[in-house]
Amino acid sequence: MRKPIIAGNWKMNKTIGEAKDFVEAFRVEVASVKDVEILLCPPYLAVHEVAQRCQGTNIAVAGQDVFWKESGAYTSQVSAKMLLDAGAEFTLIGHSETRGRFGKEDMTEGQFAFFAESDETVNCKIKVALAAGLKPIMCCGETYNERQAGNTDSVIKGQVKNGLADLTAEQVGGMVVAYEPVWAIGTGEVCSTPEAQRVCAMIRAKIAKLFGDVAAESVRIQYGGSVKPDNAKELLSQPDIDGALVGGASLKVPDFVGIIKAI
């Protein structure tokens, strides 16, 4: 039986003070929630503050990214060791916003590729995180153009195969994969429940093919993209959707609590 996992990705939102206020109110609201793993993914600067305030609660903390080297001359980057030291237990890796894929379109002229993430860097980051004892949540998802061109399945299968390359079945079985169609992120345009279930089942089948049935049965697969309290229940009741990765609706305590309680 896979334990559902609901994560709130705050992206570039909340100062340390705002994060503190959120956690103070939030932890009381979810204190009685059992059998659901709850994660908060604050911006790096608030990870320590949030982790301190979540100590002894049922809330764990995740980074939003991690670099693939242990230390050194990598200006602006954060290592797995630093995240663990600050109190994180998980980290997102390969979010579409760090892959440089936004909204309904791929990168257009005038948008800067401020992160040049590829399946290869995603794979390096996952390996470094696992080696350090930080649990990776690997994000994947197709853009609007890729879906329109009928390439959804091949894009996702490629991201899964290349992102998880060289890992053991045991490592993959302990991981979380988040399916986030890029066109559904922050747009209010949620993927239909049958389609989200279909893609999540396809991800599980691909993992079964690459790593075996045991890994496929234990890997947890989240859906992300415009998840709200009113659509969470239906999405989360699907057999291959083991949780949600929530952006905008995780910024307000009542909305995020509503999603968690929908399970």
| Residues in contact with ligand 13P by the rule CB under 6 A | 9, 95, 180, 185-186, 224-227, 245-249
Q: Which residue is nearest to ligand 13P (CB)?
A: 247
CB 152, min distance to ligand 13P, A: 17
Query: Which among 48, 49, 95, 146 is annotated as catalytic?
Result: 95
Residue nearer to ligand 13P on the CB measure, 3 or 252 = 252
Q: How far is the CB of 132 from ligand 13P (least distance, A)?
A: 22
Tokens read off for 149 = 């061109």
Which residue lies nearer to ligand 13P by CB, 63 or 247?
A: 247
Q: How far is the CB of 11 from ligand 13P (least distance, A)?
A: 7
Q: How far is the CB of 150 from ligand 13P (least distance, A)?
A: 23
For strand 59-63 and strand 90-93, is the pairing parallel, antiparallel, or unpaired?
Answer: parallel
Amino acid at 89: E
**Are β-strands 90-93 and 5-9 bridged in parallel, bridged antiparallel, or unpaired?**
unpaired
* Nearest alpha carbon to residue 136 among 77, 81, 91: 91
Nearer to ligand 13P among residue 41 and residue 128 (C-beta): 41
Rounded Cα distance between 66 and 181, Å, is 22
62, 90 contact by CB (below 8 A): yes
18 is catalytic: no
Angle at 117 between CA 214 and CA 193, to 5 degrees: 50
The minimum distance between CB 81 and ligand 13P, in angstroms, equals 24
55's tokens: 């100590």
Q: What is the DSSP string of 124-136?
A: HHHHHHHHHTPEE
- CA 87, CA 79: separation in Å to the nearest integer? 13
Q: Which C-beta is closer to ligand 13P: that of 13 or that of 151?
A: 13
Say whether 109 is catalytic: no
Residue nearer to ligand 13P on the CB measure, 13 or 169: 13
CA-to-CA dists, residue 189 to 9, 144, 202, angstroms:
18, 11, 21
- Catalytic (active-site) positions: 95, 180
